[in-house]
Amino acid sequence: MNTLVWLAEHFIGMFQQGGEVFTSLVTGIVPLLIVLLTGVNALVAFIGTERIEGLGRWAARDGLIFYPIRYLIFPILSVFFLTNPMCYTMARFLPEKYKPAFYDAAVSYVHPPLGIFPHVNPGELFVWLGIATGIETLGLSVVPLAVRYLLIGMVVIFIRGVVTERITAVMWARETAKATPALA
């Protein structure tokens, strides 16, 4: 009998602990999230997503100076205004050879802004929040971490865009060579 009670106590205890965690998440984060999401959603609606489409046509151009536009500014604005997963539709303004690299840059930016702009990917919030909760438990502010995550994310997506564009170009050339055997 005692064993049974012991078992039942610990069974319930486990979920009580879970419930406490849930309460702290809901009361600690959800109110801020709701207000923040409302604010950003309204901002995006006021500005209008069609404005970044012009940027897409600009980002499509060849040349070294267009790299930061194509793999930094364009993906960041696409993610901010269209959010995951609609941001990837912006690749339609780019030539085929840049599409994989743009996708790589855009998809890599759906997590770094989560600490400050959770609206970009609310369904995957815990990529950020899981680790941030640990920082909070230590009694530290998560904002410095959020800002650095957002900034390093920018550097990383730019590198990803450039590297993936190179790899795509090499693979494309190899594929074309295979398709049209040398006329020797």
Partner 1 sequence: MKSFITNLGRNVGHVVGILYQAGRESIDQVIKNILPFMAFIALVIGIILYTGIGDWIANLIAPLAGSLVGMLIISVICGLPFLSPLLGPGAVIAQVVGTLLGSTLIASGSIPARYALPALFAINPQVGCDFIPVGLALGEAEPETVEIGVPAVLLSRMITGPIAVVLAYVASFGLYPGN
For partner 1, the binding residues in 99-118 under the rule CB under 8 A are: 99-104, 106-108, 110-112
Smaller CB separation from partner 1, 76 or 160: 160
Query: Residue 71 in contact with residue 105, Cβ under 8 Å?
Result: yes
Smaller CB separation from partner 1, 2 or 137: 137
Smaller CB separation from partner 1, 132 or 184: 132
Residues 45-104 that bind partner 1 (CB under 8 A): 45-46, 85-86, 88-92, 94, 96-97, 99-104
Residue 35 structure tokens:
């207000």
Helix-strand-coil split of the chain, %, nearest 5: 85, 0, 15
Task: Return the residue matching tokens 């609606």.
Answer: 45
**To 10 degrees, what angle do helices 30-47 and 74-86 make?**
120
Residues 111-170 that bind partner 1 (CB under 8 A): 111-112, 119, 122-135, 137-138, 140, 144-145, 148-149, 151-152, 155-156, 159-160, 163-164, 167-168
Residues 3-22 that bind partner 1 (CB under 8 A): 10, 13-22
Output the smallest distance, CB 63 to partner 1, in A: 21
Output the smallest distance, CB 7 to partner 1, in A: 13
Query: Residue 110 in contact with residue 79, Cβ under 8 Å?
Result: yes
Which residues, including other chains, have CB under 8 Å from residue 132's CB and lie 6 or more apart? 115, 142, 145, 146
Smaller CB separation from partner 1, 123 or 181: 123
Smaller CB separation from partner 1, 77 or 106: 106
* Separation of alpha carbons 19 and 16, rounded Å: 5
Output the smallest distance, CB 56 to partner 1, in A: 10
* Separation of alpha carbons 22 and 20, rounded Å: 5
